[in-house]
Structure formats: C-alpha cells, structure tokens
Amino acid sequence: MTTAIYAGKPVEVTDEGFLENPSQWDEQMAREIARAEGIEELTDRHWVVIRFMRSQYEEKGAGPSVRVLGKTSGVSVKELYQLFPKGPAKTAAKIAGIPKPIGCI
Amino acid sequence: MTKRVVIVGGGTGGTIVANRLRRAEPPDELEIVVVDQDDHHVYQPGLLFVPFGLAKLDEITRPRGHQLHRGITYRLGKVDRVDVEAEQVLLEDGSSLGYDVLVIASGAVLAPEETEGLTGPGWGEKVFTFYEPGGATALHEALERFRGGSIVVNVIDMPIKCPVAPLEFCFLADSYFHDRGMRPDVKLTYVTPLDGAFTKPVASSRLADLLAAKGVELVTEFNTAEVDGHGGRLIGYDGREVPFDLAVVVPLHNGAPFVGRSPGLGDELGFIDVDEHTLQSRAHPNVFALGDAAGVPVSKAGSVTHFQGETLVENVRQFLRGAPLDALYDGHANCFIETGFGKALLIDFNYDTEPLPGHYPSRVGLPLLKESRLNHLGKLMFQPLYWHGLLPGRDVPGIGADMPTHGKSTATVP
Ligand SMILES: Cc1cc2nc3c(=O)[nH]c(=O)nc-3n(C[C@H](O)[C@H](O)[C@H](O)COP(=O)(O)OP(=O)(O)OC[C@H]3O[C@@H](n4cnc5c(N)ncnc54)[C@H](O)[C@@H]3O)c2cc1C
C-alpha cells in the first residue's frame, strides 16, 4: 500500500493505483487520476461511464466487466475502448475510485 | 405430501444432482423432474480431441435419459421462461411445471454473433470453434486439409467454459502437426484478453513457459473487436491486428436465453446470481443453480459442477426440511491439461488457494503443475469415470468436494 496525493489530499492506494477507500473519492480527484492514466480531458461520455461504475459499485460491491458495461451502461463496447483505450473496466474503475474489478477465472 | 424438484438441464450438473437426490430421498416424498431440450448428452471435454481425429462425436455422445436413475422423470422440452413468483417453469410447447424447488443447470451458450464479423465471411471455412459438436467436426476437416500457414487460437472474452481448453488446443496442435511432419510450416499463435496465459499467477507462468517451449507465440491483453474472415485477421479494439490463415475462436458465452426472459432470475449475461458457498439464489430461496449457469467466481468446468453438485444436493435437502443450509462449496476446481505428445499436467485450486505444485489427491498421487504421462492417462480415463462414476452420483474415492491440501507444496506460493 502507498499514499498518493490527489486533489491536494493524501489517499491510500493499492500497488496498482486503485483507491483503498472509495469514499475518499471526489470529482477533482477523478480528473487527476485520469490525467495520470493518459486521459487529458474527461468528456460527458467519460462521466456517464464513471458515474455508472460508482453506482454499480454502491449497489453490488464490485465494478462491472467490459461486457456488462457494454450491455448496461448505455455506452457500447467499441466506444468504451475509444474512451478508455487501456482497458475500460480497469481504467474507469481506477478513475471512479473503486476497487479493481475481479477478473474472471 | 409429495414435493417436486424441477431441474432445468440434463447435462453434467443436472444429471449429477438428479441422481444424488434420487438416491437420498424416497420417490413418495420427492418427485424429481429433469427437463432438457435435446437428447444428446455430450462429454464436452472430448470436444477438444475431435479436431485432431483423436475422438469422434458418436464416441462422446449418449442419450440423456439413460444417465438418469430409475424414479426420475425425464422431460424432453425447451424451457421458455420461469415464473419465479408463481413457481412455475413454462415450456415452449405451452405446458408448465410447478416446483417446490428449482435447480438451474442449464449451462452456458455460445454467442458468436456478438462479435463483429465472427459469423460473417469465412465462418466455417477458415474461422472455426471447437466449443460445439458441429464446429469441432468441421475444424477436424479443415485441419486435415491444412497445408501450412498461420493458425491463431483466440479467446474473445471471459467467462468461458474450461479456460484451459484453448491452451490445450495449442499444445495438441503442436503435437498434431509434428506427427504430420509439417510443424515447421505452421505458425501457432495464442491470442488472449488476459494479461498472461492463464488467470492464476503460478499456473499462468508455467503455462506461458510451456507455450514458449512448444513454439507457440503468446499475444496478451488483446481485446478482439472484429474477426475479418475474408481478409484473414483479428482486429483489436486498440488497433492491433493478428493475421491468420485459419482461426480457432472461442466465442463469448452467455447464460441460457430463457434466463433473460425470466424477470428476477439472472444477471446481465444471463447467469444466475447465487451465493458462492450455498449455491442458493440470493433473490429466491427455493431456487438453486450450479455449473456453467451459476454466476460464481470460479471456472466454468465439469469438475466444478461435480463438486458443486454434492453441496447443492445437501442444501436442497436441508431446504426441503426447513433446516439451515450448512453445506458450503469452497470453490474447488481441478483440471487435467493436455500438453500434447501423450502428456498432460494437472492443476487443483479453490476460492482462496491458487494452483500449487505437488501431488493430487495426496502425496502419492498425480503430479501437479507438471507434465507427465500419468496425467495424460488420467484425462483419457476420465470419460468412463464421467459416465459411470460422476453422473450416477457415486462418491469417487479421493475426489471430494473440498480441496485437499496434503500433498501440496504450499511453501512455494509467493
Ligand atoms: C471444448 C470443451 C472442453 C472442456 N474441457 C473440460 C475439462 O477438461 N475439464 C472440465 O472439468 N470441464 C471441461 N469442460 C467444461 C464442462 O464440460 C462444463 O463445465 C460442464 O459440462 C458444465 O455442466 P452444466 O451442467 O453446467 O452444463 P451442461 O452440461 O452444458 O448442461 C446444460 C444443459 O442444459 C440444457 N438446456 C439449456 N437451455 C435449456 C432450455 N431452455 N430448456 C431445456 N434445456 C436447456 C442443455 O441442452 C444442456 O444439456 C469443457 C467444455 C468444453 C466446451
């Protein structure tokens, strides 16, 4: 575990940079994490996905996979990869301040 | 009063549960009905061998009813949907079956049409899947005709049945082309969405080493956007391309379509949301699920289905008595991995422990995570064990629901 500074606040993050405590998250933090992930500007479409990730996490305790995102978030899988080229489920979860999605086994 | 358990699906899980339940509960107290849409029970692990001419479909297929004990009603029919409020299973022919307990063992279906281009030009000509009987046979013919070039094996995305099967396909292909004296003319590439050869770290690195040793190129974190059968290339969402002369694709998997038509039964992909330990539906206490149909964090495999079957039967019996469910499934899975040239390796793991080296089921047993001739025989021997040991619901010595820990070198885990 390490400490990172986002939006001027120190937060605990995992080795891979996921927030340890999702309740510490705020929108300014999201913009800074996004920049660190190579996404300069979060557009409205990014926010649709980020908000969806957070609501899913609050409801189910885990972020959805790309397939589930594509079926339920209103953003197609193709567009998800355009928005988050390095992997939508992982990158969007990181920006949304929720834990890394559990990969399928 | 006689109660009724309806089991949807007469494959691996449905058959095991029906037979175990029949043995445990007298027919005048419990009626057991198994519904399946067809009468061909396929030993699915055998599909891996069909493309290489090592097994034929008729050798791995049997009538479903014959696998069920006396005193079980077998109903041939397709389930259209389940009305969980009315506790009724509705069949396509318009009839319905009421239940006290519903067991969903309807497996997974392939959804090749969800990937752009996959079922377009080239499908069945140079793009194949061995995950269903027709495709496995067609691929056999294509491999026999193959005169050299590039073969890619691609998993579109998880979850899939038996995540090691596509790796085994690579190993067997290496062996097959070697035997035909044309291995140098064939380029084999394994293309996966995962960040390694497999999901579990220790096994993943061993399997990556094996791929390298057999000259199979590994392409990771490749998310297939499109299969261009005409042009012979896989196209990734990130713009990367992998060219092929022949593609062996494992399509996306979903739960059975009737689940999506049954409000409150499944998740977004049509898998049943059950407790990962008791296998009871979180939304409807008299609904249980196992095997490929269940949305639990474990591989979709026959061994998993078998181990879950033991737990599920205990819990259904407890439920019928109004007693608390105390049988807990621990995520136990094991599989033989065919590695070609008459060898195989074996892995064994559960929710908390990843595949470890050592021996199974105890110190004197089959070597784990290591290629051996003994393991290969294990896999070949498994078919008779499947029909005569697992499906009838016998307890197979040494192969129990809980993962064994003796015989494993736990110390080697990082
Ligand atoms: C190529 C391949 C290789 C494999 N290798 C291995 C291996 O080496 N080791 C291993 O452990 N596992 C392996 N597996 C996986 C294993 O076969 C499955 O995990 C196992 O059979 C799952 O059992 P199940 O009962 O959940 O589903 P199934 O056995 O598939 O049964 C589901 C049944 O439900 C029926 N059904 C579905 N919908 C309806 C409906 N609407 N109405 C009526 N009936 C319906 C179907 O007809 C089917 O008979 C392999 C699978 C494949 C495809």
Q: Which residues of B touch A (CB under 8 A)?
A: 157-159, 163, 194, 199-200, 221, 223, 225, 237-238, 252, 267-269, 297-299
- Residue tagged 């003319």 (tokens): B185
Task: Tell whether A101 is covered by a domain.
Answer: no
Please tell me the predicted confidence (pLDDT) of residue B411: 39
ipTM over 0.90: no
Q: Do B269 and A71 touch (CB under 8 A)?
A: yes
Burial class from Cβ neighbours inside 10 Å (0-12, 13-18, 19+) for residue A32 reads middle
Among the residue ranges B117-121, B207-211, B317-321, the one predicted with the least confidence is B207-211
Question: What is the rounded CA–CA span in Å between residue B39 and residue B62?
Answer: 8
Question: What is the rounded CA–CA span in Å between residue B252 and residue B157?
Answer: 6
Half-sphere exposure of B82 (CA within 13 A, CB side): 26
Candidates B115, B268, B273, B303: best to mutate against A (most CBs of A within 10 A) is B268
> Containing H/E element for B142?
helix B133-145
> Could you list the residue range(s) of the whole structural domain that residue A29 is in?
2-96
Task: Tell whether A105 is covered by a domain.
Answer: no
- Residues of chain A contacting B221 with CB distance shorter than 8 Å: 87
Answer yes or no: is pLDDT of A102 > 90. Answer: no
Please tell me the predicted confidence (pLDDT) of residue B414: 35
Active-site residue (options: A23, A40, A44, A104): A104
A104 is catalytic: yes
Task: Check pocket membership of B78 for ligand 1, CB cut-off 6 A.
Answer: yes
Average pLDDT, chain B: 91
Please tell me the predicted confidence (pLDDT) of residue B251: 98
pLDDT digits (tens, 9 = 90+) for B77-125: 999 999 999 999 999 999 999 999 999 999 999 999 999 999 999 999 9
Q: Quick one: DSSP state of residue A30?
A: H
Q: Which CATH architecture has domain B3-107+256-320?
A: 3-Layer(bba) Sandwich (3.50)
Half-sphere exposure of B218 (CA within 13 A, CB side): 21
Nearest chain B residue to A65 by CA: give it: B158
Structure confidence at residue B375 as a pLDDT band (50, 70, 90): low
Question: What is the rounded CA–CA span in Å between residue A90 and residue A87?
Answer: 6
Question: What is the rounded CA–CA span in Å between residue B253 and residue B256?
Answer: 9
Answer yes or no: is pLDDT of B281 > 90. Answer: yes
Candidates B118, B237, B303: best to mutate against A (most CBs of A within 10 A) is B237
**Residue B38 Cα: closest atom of ligand 1:** 47
Among the residue ranges A18-27, B281-290, B328-337, B346-355, the one predicted with the least confidence is B346-355
Q: Is A42 left (phi over 0), alpha (psi -120 to 50) or beta?
A: beta
Nearest chain A residue to B194 by CA: give it: A103
Which residue is closest in CA terms to ligand 1's atom 30? B107
Number of domains in chain A: 1
Question: What is the rounded CA–CA span in Å between residue B142 and residue B139?
Answer: 5
- The mean pLDDT of B53-64, rounded to a whole number, is 93
Question: What is the rounded CA–CA span in Å between residue B299 and residue B335?
Answer: 10
Q: Judge contact between B264 and B242, C-beta under 8 A.
A: no
Please tell me the predicted confidence (pLDDT) of residue B276: 95
For residue B385, the SS3 value is helix
Q: Judge contact between B118 and B249, C-beta under 8 A.
A: yes
B3-107+256-320 and B112-253 in the same fold? yes
Structure confidence at residue B373 as a pLDDT band (50, 70, 90): low
Task: Check pocket membership of B14 for ligand 1, CB cut-off 6 A.
Answer: yes
Q: How many CB pairs under 8 A join A and B?
A: 43
Instruction: Cis check for the bond before B361: say yes or no (omega within 30 of 0).
Output: yes
pLDDT digits (tens, 9 = 90+) for B177-199: 999 999 999 999 999 999 899 87
The two three-digit tokens of residue B358, written as one number: 């050592």
Task: Tell whether A23 is covered by a domain.
Answer: yes
For residue B158, the SS3 value is coil
- Residues of chain B contacting A56 with CB distance shorter than 8 Å: none
Task: Tell whether A104 is covered by a domain.
Answer: no
Task: Identify each DSSP E strand in B129-173 by its residue range.
Answer: 149-155
- Residues of chain A contacting B238 with CB distance shorter than 8 Å: 81, 85
Q: Judge contact between B273 and B295, C-beta under 8 A.
A: yes
Task: Tell whether A54 is covered by a domain.
Answer: yes
- Residue tagged 């500074």 (tokens): A5
Strands B287-289 and B101-104: parallel
CATH number at A71 reads: 1.10.10.370
Question: Can you give the residue ranges of every domain in chain B?
Answer: 3-107+256-320, 112-253, 335-414
- The mean pLDDT of A53-61, rounded to a whole number, is 92
Q: Do B199 and A104 touch (CB under 8 A)?
A: yes
Considering only CB atoms, A104 lies closest to which of B158, B223, B225, namely B158
Which residue is closest in CA terms to ligand 1's atom 3? B45
Answer yes or no: is pLDDT of B397 > 70. Answer: no
Looking at per-residue pLDDT, the higher value among B350 and B58 belongs to B58
pTM (2 decimals)? Answer: 0.92
Considering only CB atoms, B299 lies closest to which of A67, A72, A105, namely A105
Look at the domain B112-253 and name its fold. FAD/NAD(P)-binding domain (3.50.50)
> How much of chain B exceeds pLDDT 70, in percent?
93
Half-sphere exposure of B98 (CA within 13 A, CB side): 4
pLDDT digits (tens, 9 = 90+) for B226-240: 999 999 999 999 999
Question: What is the rounded CA–CA span in Å between residue B313 and residue B234?
Answer: 44
Please tell me the predicted confidence (pLDDT) of residue B360: 74
Answer yes or no: is pLDDT of B393 > 80. Answer: yes
How much distance in Å is there from the Cα of B346 to the middle of ligand 1? 21
The two three-digit tokens of residue B93, written as one number: 């022919």
